Structure 1
Amino acid sequence: MLSFFPPCYEDELLYSVLARFHQRSGNSSFKSTLIDLFDTDTILAVTDFTSGLDTLCRKTNMLYNAKELIENHSLLPYYRPFLTKEINEKVSNLLCTYNSTGVHISMGIIQTNVSLPQYLKFCVSCYEEDETTFGEAYWHRSHQLPGVYLCPFHCEILNNSYIPFKKQEHNQHYYALSNIDLKSCEPCGPVDYIEKQRGIFKKISEYSLNLLESKVAPLGLRRLREVYVSYLAERGFITSSGRVRFKKFSASFKGFYGEEILGFLQCNFTEYQEDTWLHKVLRKPRISCNPLRHLLLLLYFNQDTKVYTNFGCEKNKYKPFQSVTYPCLNKAADHYMERVVKELKISRDSETGKPVGTFICNCGFIYSRKGPDNSLEDEFRIGRIKNFGHIWERKLLELSNKGLSRREISAELGVDYNTVKKYLHILENIEQEKLDDSAIKEFNSSSIQEKYRTEWLNHMKLNLNQTRTEIRKRKPSVYMWLYRHDKDWLYKNLPPAINKVGPNNRVNWQRRDLEIVKLIEREVDNILAIDPPERVTISKIGQRTQKSALLEKKMERLPKTKKVLEEVVESIEEFQIRRIRNIASKKREAREEVKEWEIIREAGLRPEYIGLMSETIQNEIKFDLY
């Protein structure tokens, strides 16, 4: 148990608290401090995500708990909105243990192209205020975020210390801010340029601080995409089907910021590329993106970080026609003006690009209008009637039979005079045709049937030795009429069916099994020789040997083939190991240092496999050292 532990100040990095502990402890070495704090001297002094929190809290007699330290003295709240709930929980658990490296990998910080700060930064005014208020200065966590060049409290340009943010050497040392030489420190960026773009840098600093302090729940990239798409829709960058107009949006986004500042913030992109960071955020997001880039999107949309805080209250999904159900505007129906329409089809107007909604009611009434709907009144507007439906048509005939004039009918049904005239003419003709057809069918049906039966029987007598198929081909029209209208009689008056027995072509499966084994062995050697490596799978072997059907459906007849496949087919883990070794081998041949993060990136390891492959990667690094 520790005899003392310094208080944690507002907005202070936990690294800074531990540096002040070392300063007061009187320890002659940093390893002694690590043992005091964590019961081990192998832990690293990480600036942004200090791990081993369970042990630290226990050693301080639970003066603070792990959750408090994570929320108020680490950078996790800054990244949390862009993580899934599962990743957030995993990172929190890693911080409680001794795995700070796993934190950066799990959150995707290593994979992003936005670099972490080179040095720990500080604000001179904060330094002086903290000394006056607390008697000592400390490292503020809000100063250490990507893209933050101005202090969010004083709007002054931050200074770089000479303490590396990500230490390569002396990575177990804790350096207190009060021990650095202020005179040797310089501004963290080009002063003239930061002053020129002060408005944007000020917003980035404020938004970054808000993320740290707002304690937003993990939302995940897929849910955040819905927020961004709703704002894109308001600006006309979404098609009626919900697709992003990337070319127009990319040009507008780049025009808003300019290439210079996007390049300075490591957020630039080529306008006509199809795999930029904008695409990765706004398509189906699978790859993590630095929070700085999300903040740039918010600035472009003229929104603030409250969007993330109020996420659950937002209607974020883009819907040009907002309601769930829509009114039926068929004046002939009993449910007129009631919200009974559930079927909606959205298309795009070819001239204006605006969405067009087609509303389909069960009564057969179909109407459409251009969107989007901007008010409740818009939902009761008809652009064009595509179909009146059976209820409207029946009502039209009823009103006509009652003796109403066409003008009276048009007023009753909400259509113009010419529409009533047109549809009355069509419907009256249809009714008359139905009556005529019914009478003709009733008169002719028995005589037609007798005619076809007689013709078929005469045809059968002339072709007594013919098969069913041969007879059918000679009189196809007679056969088809009887098949459709008199099937039972037809089947009773056909020649008996002939059962054909095909030849018995037996397969020598034993020989085929041996042949396929040889093919597999040859193709596996070819697959293993491919660079970059490809995984050995049954489907790939089947594709290359052109034996996919046999390998999928006849494996029980091919025991030797089955045994060989079990030996040569790679699991995902086996393939990842082979790929890691291949990358490490190439680096050794090129006399390059084998680094963990480079292997992870080049092997394209997904987060769930990084932990499984950790031992293999470390073995390759150790091999490189020898």
Structure 2
Amino acid sequence: MHAYFPTLYEDELLYSWFARYHVHSANVSPKQTMKELFGTTSAVAVPDLPTQLKQVYDRIRHFDIQSLDNLILNHTLFRYYTAFQPESVREKVYQAMVEGNQPGAIHTMTGIAASVVQEWTFLRFCPTCLQEDMQKKGEPYWHVSHQFPGVFTCLKHGDYLCDSTVRYRNTEKHKFVAATKDNCPSIFLQASYSDKTKAFLNMIARQSQELISSDFLFTFEGIQKAYQYLLKEKGFSNINGKVDQKRLAEQFQLFYGEELLSVVQSSVSYENSFCWLKNITRKHRKSFHPLRHILFIHFLGESIETFYKFASKEYQPFGEAPYYCLNPAAGHFKERVITDLRMSLCTDTRRPVATFSCSCGFVYSRRGPDKVKEDKLKVGRIKQFGDVWESKLNKLVHIEKKSLNSAAKELQCDIGTVKKYTTSPTFKDVSIFEESTEDMTSTKQKKWLDLIQMHPEKSVTQLRKIVPALYAWHYRNNRKWLKEHSPKQERKADTLRRVDWTERDEEILLQVQQTINKLYAYDKPIYVNKTRIGKEINQLSFIEKHLAKLPKTKKYIEDHIESRYQFQIRRIKWACGQLEVKGEEIIEWKVRRLAGIRNDVSEEVQIALQTEILNYKAGDQDSKNQTMAF
């Protein structure tokens, strides 16, 4: 057991921590340090994704240090390299870091080994951070935030980072090398990049740090959906998902500039069919370097913190329904009443075109997408004016005797349109257009009654679909009459006998008893609650709505279901038992992971977890004592 281990500093690599231990312990041989840390001399000193960390943790945990989970998340590049990886890869990498002894396999899993974006040749440091560390802590150390690929500036001071003389992948692979004043020459670099490039470099530093500050659970499907949504919203993709790759590459290069893209090894070319920018917009069959995700997300106007929100959003270039009716003749003018929307692509511009159809008969289209609120009140092209509009025009011209100019002004259309409709043969039909309001109502009523006579078997809903404008007119102007003169829905004769709830209670109770026994009998615990029981017996809706009428079933369910707290305790006991069967040590992080217990559980669950582990350890000790006594 170690008698001493140095304090782990904020933002310090585990590699640096182990290197400082080597210096403080005054070990002459690097392999002696390896033996003390890992229990073997064959372990490899890896700066970004170290392995066999459980071996080290078990040897130093008595110093009251952070949990192994926190060490991996906050003091390695695990979060950085797995943020955009599937959950299965994250789990494999995590387990390899805890248990594994093949560091090369991890770099293959994460795609680091095959990435065009190369890691740094030497460990990096900030000269100002170095001086501050010397003053406050008495020694320098390697910072996590200084080692990200593509990060050129210190997030804290804004200075350019410098190369040390310590190789990132040391040729002496079993040796941890601590940061010192000798291997970190204090050379303050002068700004060698444009202000635009440096601003982007600072952005990359901030976003890289953000990746390891939280657990971002991106999935390949979620990443792809978010990119598709943002590309459509920014106009780089049409509503069908086809990306204008040439325009995208041109705008991407103009946005960042060739200087920045070259520096971070992420240049783009439309002519190159294998260009990473083309591939990242398509279906994700492989992983992309986190640096390139950062660049693309920022280009699309978002950040690591906001990107996840777009994984579930559907692109709606004209907003959400209902939409505005822009018929000046309608009583609902500029009200959101339209639900009928059809979309297509403009053949010239490939932009989305929406056709809005209102129940008043007014149909108009507009080319999108809508960018500001005022766009929603614009008409691109009127495809059909409808009966309401034509009736209003008739009233203005033939009844109120207004001039064509006045009618055009009131209906917000061109005078040529008014002339076209007023000179139409059907428009001049006096039987239609010189009727009074009472005559119009009578005409509309007759049309509705004729429609019912023509379709006696149809319901109101079906009739409404045949002549939506006629139904809408009656609904707004003649609702009481419409209700009295519409087909009545016939009630089906109640041929079913009344439910015998006592008998039904007995039947359901038997099913529930069998189901609960089955659920509790599973080897791996299943949460036994009312919803699960209802689903198992295919009676979820019945259980939810009518349980009060089944007193025996209700009481049995209430007596035998478990709370979330009880289920967590059961999972903990199961996990401890599984570890014991496998002959593995029963320690907290293993139990948590196997039982699916989060860090933010209630105090009662935390106490139960600790108690269960202590009980198993006490049992092991008793067993050992009995063996020794025997």
Q: Where do 1:120-135 residues align within 5 Å?
A: 120-135=123-138
The one-character-per-residue Cα deviations of 1:421-449 (angstroms, maximum 9, x if unpaired) are: 377628979x9xxxxxxxxxxxxxxxxxx
Give the letter aligned to residue 373 of structure 1.
D
Distance between the aligned counterparts of 1:425 and 1:412, measured in 2? 22
Q: Where do 1:376-455 residues align within 5 Å?
A: 376-387=373-384, 417-418=418-419, 420-421=421-422, 425=426
2:180 aligns with one of 149, 162, 178: 178
Deviation of 1:73 (Å): 0.4
Deviation of 1:247 (Å): 0.7
Aligned to 1:322: 319
Deviation of 1:276 (Å): 1.0
> Residue 357 of structure 1: SS of its match in structure 2?
strand
Contact 2:82 2:110 survives alignment (8 Å): no
The one-character-per-residue Cα deviations of 1:182-216 (angstroms, maximum 9, x if unpaired) are: 45x989xx967447876246425532453245315
Q: Where do 1:471-482 residues align within 5 Å?
A: none
Aligned to 1:288: 287
The one-character-per-residue Cα deviations of 1:530-588 (angstroms, maximum 9, x if unpaired) are: xxxxxxxxxxxxxxxxxxxxxxxxxxxxxxxxxxxxxxxxxxxxxxxxxxxxxxxxxxx
Give the letter aligned to residue 319 of structure 2.
Q
Q: Where do 1:42-121 residues align within 5 Å?
A: 42-61=42-61, 63-98=65-100, 99-121=102-124
> Residue 51 of structure 1: SS of its match in structure 2?
coil
Deviation of 1:413 (Å): 8.1
Distance between the aligned counterparts of 1:152 and 1:327, measured in 2? 49
Equivalent residues, number: 424
Contact 2:226 2:310 survives alignment (8 Å): no
Distance between the aligned counterparts of 2:204 and 2:390, measured in 1? 68
Note the residue ranges of structure 1 that are not aligned, 5 or more in a row: 432-626
Deviation of 1:281 (Å): 1.6
CA RMSD of aligned residues (A): 4.1
Contact 1:119 1:161 survives alignment (8 Å): yes
Give the letter aligned to residue 86 of structure 2.
T
Aligned to 1:272: 271
For residues 266 and 328 of structure 1, do their structure 2 counterparts lie closer, same or farther at Cα, with a shift above 3 Å needed?
same
Note the residue ranges of structure 2 that are not aligned, 5 or more in a row: 433-630
Distance between the aligned counterparts of 2:429 and 2:49, measured in 1? 81
Deviation of 1:134 (Å): 0.9
1:155 aligns with one of 113, 138, 158: 158
**1:38 pairs with 2:42:** no
Normalising by structure 2, what TM-score?
0.57
Deviation of 1:253 (Å): 2.0
Distance between the aligned counterparts of 2:108 and 2:423, measured in 1? 71
Distance between the aligned counterparts of 1:271 and 1:22, measured in 2? 51
Distance between the aligned counterparts of 1:324 and 1:67, measured in 2? 46
> Residue 268 of structure 2: SS of its match in structure 1?
coil
Give the letter aligned to residue 426 of structure 2.
H
2:147 aligns with one of 129, 133, 144: 144
Aligned to 2:245: 246
Deviation of 1:315 (Å): 8.7
For residues 237 and 209 of structure 1, do their structure 2 counterparts lie closer, same or farther at Cα, with a shift above 3 Å needed?
closer
The one-character-per-residue Cα deviations of 1:85-138 (angstroms, maximum 9, x if unpaired) are: 443333323322215333322222223211111111122222221111111110
The one-character-per-residue Cα deviations of 1:320-363 (angstroms, maximum 9, x if unpaired) are: 21214324456788877664544433334455554321224567
The one-character-per-residue Cα deviations of 1:473-504 (angstroms, maximum 9, x if unpaired) are: xxxxxxxxxxxxxxxxxxxxxxxxxxxxxxxx
Give the letter aligned to residue 376 of structure 2.
E
Contact 1:239 1:353 survives alignment (8 Å): yes
For residues 326 and 103 of structure 1, do their structure 2 counterparts lie closer, same or farther at Cα, with a shift above 3 Å needed?
farther
Distance between the aligned counterparts of 2:123 and 2:229, measured in 1? 37
For residues 366 and 214 of structure 1, do their structure 2 counterparts lie closer, same or farther at Cα, with a shift above 3 Å needed?
farther
Q: Which shows bigger deviation, 347-356 or 281-290?
A: 347-356
**1:367 pairs with 2:364:** yes
> Residue 128 of structure 1: SS of its match in structure 2?
helix
For residues 7 and 249 of structure 1, do their structure 2 counterparts lie closer, same or farther at Cα, with a shift above 3 Å needed?
same
Distance between the aligned counterparts of 1:94 and 1:413, measured in 2? 73
Aligned to 1:524: none
Give the letter aligned to residue 418 of structure 2.
Y
Q: Where do 1:593-608 residues align within 5 Å?
A: none
> Residue 117 of structure 1: SS of its match in structure 2?
coil
Q: Where do 1:279-358 residues align within 5 Å?
A: 279-301=278-300, 304-308=303-307, 311-312=308-309, 318-329=315-326, 339-350=336-347, 354-358=351-355
Distance between the aligned counterparts of 1:397 and 1:428, measured in 2? 13
Deviation of 1:282 (Å): 1.8
> Residue 292 of structure 1: SS of its match in structure 2?
helix
For residues 158 and 403 of structure 1, do their structure 2 counterparts lie closer, same or farther at Cα, with a shift above 3 Å needed?
closer
For residues 249 and 306 of structure 1, do their structure 2 counterparts lie closer, same or farther at Cα, with a shift above 3 Å needed?
same
Q: Where do 1:419-568 residues align within 5 Å?
A: 420-421=421-422, 425=426
Give the letter aligned to residue 68 of structure 2.
A
Give the letter aligned to residue 60 of structure 1.
I
For residues 403 and 161 of structure 1, do their structure 2 counterparts lie closer, same or farther at Cα, with a shift above 3 Å needed?
closer
Q: Where do 1:606-625 residues align within 5 Å?
A: none
Give the letter aligned to residue 370 of structure 1.
R
> Residue 10 of structure 2: SS of its match in structure 1?
coil
> Residue 121 of structure 1: SS of its match in structure 2?
strand
Give the letter aligned to residue 105 of structure 2.
G
For residues 383 and 261 of structure 1, do their structure 2 counterparts lie closer, same or farther at Cα, with a shift above 3 Å needed?
closer
Aligned to 1:14: 14
Distance between the aligned counterparts of 2:107 and 2:429, measured in 1? 77
Distance between the aligned counterparts of 1:227 and 1:213, measured in 2? 21
Deviation of 1:365 (Å): 4.7
Contact 1:160 1:186 survives alignment (8 Å): no
For residues 427 and 342 of structure 1, do their structure 2 counterparts lie closer, same or farther at Cα, with a shift above 3 Å needed?
farther
The one-character-per-residue Cα deviations of 1:300-336 (angstroms, maximum 9, x if unpaired) are: 456554434xx43899654321214324456788877
Distance between the aligned counterparts of 2:428 and 2:144, measured in 1? 78
Distance between the aligned counterparts of 1:315 and 1:373, measured in 2? 21
Distance between the aligned counterparts of 1:39 and 1:130, measured in 2? 31
> Residue 254 of structure 2: SS of its match in structure 1?
helix
Q: Where do 1:170-249 residues align within 5 Å?
A: 170-178=172-180, 180-183=182-185, 193-194=192-193, 199-200=198-199, 202-204=201-203, 206-212=205-211, 214-225=213-224, 227-228=226-227, 232=231, 236-249=235-248
Deviation of 1:412 (Å): 9.6
Normalising by structure 1, what TM-score?
0.58
Deviation of 1:257 (Å): 3.6
For residues 198 and 331 of structure 1, do their structure 2 counterparts lie closer, same or farther at Cα, with a shift above 3 Å needed?
closer
Distance between the aligned counterparts of 1:214 and 1:42, measured in 2? 32
Q: Which shows bigger deviation, 12-21 or 172-181?
A: 172-181
Distance between the aligned counterparts of 1:192 and 1:375, measured in 2? 41
**1:4 pairs with 2:7:** no
Distance between the aligned counterparts of 2:423 and 2:288, measured in 1? 61
For residues 377 and 56 of structure 1, do their structure 2 counterparts lie closer, same or farther at Cα, with a shift above 3 Å needed?
same
Distance between the aligned counterparts of 2:321 and 2:87, measured in 1? 29
Distance between the aligned counterparts of 1:375 and 1:320, measured in 2? 11
Distance between the aligned counterparts of 1:372 and 1:175, measured in 2? 57
